[in-house]
Amino acid sequence: MQRVKRFKWAILLVVLALVVVGCGDDDAEEEPVATTAAEAPATTPAPEPADEEEEPATAPAEEEEEPAPETTTTTAAPPPPPEPVTVRAAITGDEGTLNPYTYISGFPGWNILMLQYDSLMQLDAAGVPQPWLASSVSVSDDLTEWSVTLVEGVTFHDGEPLTSDDVAFSVEFYTTNPEASRFARDFRGVADVVVHDDYSVTFVLESANPGFDVVALADAPIIPRHIWESVDIPSEHDFGGTNIGSGPYILTEIAPDQSYRFAANPNYFRGAPAVDELVLIIFADDAGAQAAIRTGEVDVIFERIPPEQIDLLDAQDPLDVILGPEFATQMINYDASIRPFDDVAVRQAINLAMDRQDIVDTVYLGAATVGSPGWIHPGHSVYNPGIAVDVYDPAAANALLDGAGYADSDGDGVREYDGQPMSFEIITNASDSLRLRIAELTVEMLAAIGIETEVLPVDTAVWENAVWPGFDVNNGRNYQIAMWGWSPPVQADPLRLPWLVHSSLDRGFLNLTGYGNAEMDELSEALAVEPDPAGRKAILGRMQEIIAEDLPFVLLLYPDGAYVYDSSVYADWEFIAGQGIVSKLSLLAPSARP
């Protein structure tokens, strides 16, 4: 049996305190790196010299001079070239054509997208952004000018050079193209992009942004101007069956709803990838992916595996499991703009009814952290320790609803509001077995306080369109209660918190519950321009207090990441704290990683 590889918690807090970027945090705990020892080439011993011929008993009459022995040189044959490495990875959903406008999910969609493209910075194993396409990054004292020097000689897949002009074009395209891109929000507040020469550029911001390195420089893919300047509607444009980026992999084949095939970029500026070919195979759900890795149909699963499968899969040679901390979330959303969820008493009662520890123990078998009602992970340096985590109290929840006038007048066990029963649907994505189980437990817990719910499992696209239509909060919402969760970057960077809670649709572009609070809006505005880390921590502390009181959503837990792979095929997976193993770092030689 392969031993489960466990990675200690790496706190990502240094990321947000960085002012001048270009080196890792000295205090950050170094993540262990899984390595596969290369077998030493076999050596052939030199042949033993022949035994010396015995002298005859009777010497010849005339001794002849013996000729000098012949010397032969044996040249060892060069070792054969290594066999090409092909990795087959399982995913549980189609990701469109995988360009910056058509990929679908935050995880693993964005991670797969970034195999083809590069950003100016790249998170290292500790989750700290390091220069990548950039050779150096610096920021002014007032945090309004971020200067980037590019690595020279980087080329796109078609051989064209990547220059400062492509960087400036990328920002302009994302922010001005009429078809929405989530990368437009990365560059909110950028007043100008000044190109100094082919390899140096400065981002001039409208106001201080201490998290610009994480939010923008380590997130947005740089796209080639010579390809995209003729693109009007990216989702409809014919890119010729591939995507031209600068990343370590080139998309060579798409079979919709079946598979993707990528070839290694031999000219990658960080060196040729360690994996020569990557094939992504699409499965309907995680159970299908797990069955496939058991039978050798795939070599790794690019999704987190359920806790109950960790020991079972790890027990099967040559499978191995890697564990580490992630900042993904599991949570309950509700439409706070409609009755009865517009009443904070109802939201508070739902929060009190949720036995978070039971969910962690039952669904995740302990492989998760109980969620803070204030959103920020308890392991984060900006976490407000005054926020109580153990808040489970169904008696208090019932008392709260009684006091707010939500009575069960007919004695059927279901309370009423506005003359109708408190009976609702909980929509969730059917393909996620863990989230489905959480929804089922939620039904039981809410029933204990007189709220009747029924789980509505649907296709992922239907679920997303109900909660976040068109991935644009301007389109409203079409649900009552929903199981939801955000990918790790949203939780990892506290400066993104205003995105979730600002009442302005322009600033609260991840506010999927319709929540609004005037003080929260003011704090969000102040956070965006506060240059002092201590000042930002104080603001975030107050924001957590408001969230824990107002409950715009109910945060349940933060799952650990567990990934299974066939170590006989490829074993050099890099776990990025808060992100997992699905990244370009995992597929590059260890020496090429930051």
Q: What is the DSSP string of 55-103?
A: PPSS--SSPPPPPPPP---PPPPPPPPPPPPEEEEEESS--TT-STTT-
Of 214 and 90, which is predicted with more confidence?
Answer: 90
What confidence score (pLDDT) does residue 39 get?
Answer: 35
What confidence score (pLDDT) does residue 487 get?
Answer: 83
What confidence score (pLDDT) does residue 16 get?
Answer: 37
What number of other Cβ atoms are within 10 A of residue 423's Cβ?
13
| pLDDT above 50: residue 126 | yes
What confidence score (pLDDT) does residue 185 get?
Answer: 87
| pLDDT above 90: residue 4 | no
Residue 303 lies in a domain: no
Of 570 and 78, which is predicted with more confidence?
Answer: 570
How far is residue 300's CA from residue 290's CA, in Å, rounded to a whole number? 9
Structure tokens at 46: 């030199």
How far is residue 354's CA from residue 65's CA, in Å, rounded to a whole number? 101
Beta partners for residue 260, in sequence order: 254, 280
CATH of the domain at 371: 3.10.105.10
pLDDT confidence tier of residue 541, bands split at 50, 70 and 90: very high
What confidence score (pLDDT) does residue 312 get?
Answer: 95
How far is residue 135's CA from residue 161's CA, in Å, rounded to a whole number? 16
Tell me the three state secondary structure of residue 353: helix
Residue 48 lies in a domain: no
Cβ-based neighbours of 304, under 8 Å, separated by 6 or more:
326, 328, 559, 561, 562, 563, 580
Q: Which of 372, 356, 328, 513 is nearest to 441 (CA)?
A: 356
| pLDDT above 80: residue 27 | no
Q: What are phi and psi of 139, to 5 degrees?
A: -135, 145
Mean pLDDT of 538-550: 98
In 77-227, DSSP assigns E strands to: 86-91, 121-123, 129-131, 134-139, 145-150, 190-197, 200-205
| pLDDT above 90: residue 32 | no
| pLDDT above 50: residue 173 | yes
What confidence score (pLDDT) does residue 164 get?
Answer: 98
349: Cα separation from own chain's centroid: 32
What confidence score (pLDDT) does residue 533 get?
Answer: 86
Residue-number span of the structural domain to which 484 is assigned = 330-559
What number of other Cβ atoms are within 10 A of residue 295's Cβ?
7
pLDDT confidence tier of residue 354, bands split at 50, 70 and 90: very high
Which segment of 133-147, 391-405, 527-541 scores lowest on mean pLDDT? Answer: 527-541
Calculated CA dihedral for residues 475, 480, 486, 491, nearest 10 degrees: 100
In the block, tokens 């990838």 appear at 273
Mean pLDDT of 524-533: 88
Of 14 and 452, which is predicted with more confidence?
Answer: 452
What confidence score (pLDDT) does residue 12 get?
Answer: 40
In the 8-state DSSP scheme, what is residue 381?
A: T
Tell me the three state secondary structure of residue 326: strand
pLDDT confidence tier of residue 73, bands split at 50, 70 and 90: low
Residue 319 lies in a domain: no
Residue-averaged pLDDT of the chain: 88
Residue 80 lies in a domain: no
Crossing angle, helix 344-353 and helix 433-447, to 10 degrees? Answer: 110
Mean pLDDT of 569-583: 93
| pLDDT above 80: residue 56 | no
- Answer whether the bond into residue 385 is a cis peptide, omega within 30°: no
Q: Which residue type, as a one-letter code, is found at position 236?
A: E
In contact, 120 and 16? CB cutoff 8 Å: no
Cβ-based neighbours of 343, under 8 Å, separated by 6 or more:
404
Residue 392 lies in a domain: yes
| pLDDT above 60: residue 187 | yes
Residue 180 lies in a domain: no
Q: Which residue type, as a one-letter code, is found at position 275?
A: V
Structure tokens at 465: 């369109």
| CA distances for 185 relative to 188, 212, 369, 496, 508, angstroms | 5, 11, 29, 11, 11
Mean pLDDT of 271-280: 98
- 3-class SS string, 432-459: CHHHHHHHHHHHHHHHCCCCEEEEEEEC
Share of the chain above pLDDT 90, in %: 72
Q: Which of 558, 557, 554, 559 is nearest to 352 (CA)?
A: 554
In the block, tokens 């029963």 appear at 421
In the 8-state DSSP scheme, what is residue 215?
A: I
In the 8-state DSSP scheme, what is residue 217?
A: I
What confidence score (pLDDT) does residue 29 get?
Answer: 33
How far is residue 572's CA from residue 318's CA, in Å, rounded to a whole number? 14
Cβ-based neighbours of 57, under 8 Å, separated by 6 or more:
none
Mean pLDDT of 22-41: 34
Cβ-based neighbours of 230, under 8 Å, separated by 6 or more:
none
Mean pLDDT of 342-368: 96
* Number of separate helices (H) and strands (E) present in the chain: 17, 22
pLDDT confidence tier of residue 76, bands split at 50, 70 and 90: low
Structure tokens at 433: 């077995």
Tell me the three state secondary structure of residue 455: strand
**What domain count does the chain have?**
1
Mean pLDDT of 265-271: 97
Mean pLDDT of 335-360: 98
In the 8-state DSSP scheme, what is residue 308?
A: G
Calculated CA dihedral for residues 291, 294, 300, 301, nearest 10 degrees: 20
Beta strand 452-458 pairing with 423-429: parallel
Each residue's pLDDT tens digit, 412-453: 999 999 999 999 999 999 988 899 999 999 999 999 999 999
Mean pLDDT of 224-237: 92
Residue 14 lies in a domain: no
Each residue's pLDDT tens digit, 452-464: 999 999 999 999 9
| CA distances for 328 relative to 194, 467, 493, angstroms | 35, 18, 12
What confidence score (pLDDT) does residue 529 get?
Answer: 83
pLDDT confidence tier of residue 51, bands split at 50, 70 and 90: very low
Residue 263 lies in a domain: no
Q: Which of 439, 488, 495 is nearest to 329 (CA)?
A: 488
pLDDT confidence tier of residue 70, bands split at 50, 70 and 90: low
| pLDDT above 90: residue 332 | yes
Mean pLDDT of 459-480: 95
How far is residue 493's CA from residue 316's CA, in Å, rounded to a whole number? 37
Tell me the three state secondary structure of residue 171: helix
Each residue's pLDDT tens digit, 499-528: 999 999 989 999 999 999 999 999 999 998
Q: What is the largest CA-CA distance in the chain?
A: 133
Beta partners for residue 566, in sequence order: 319
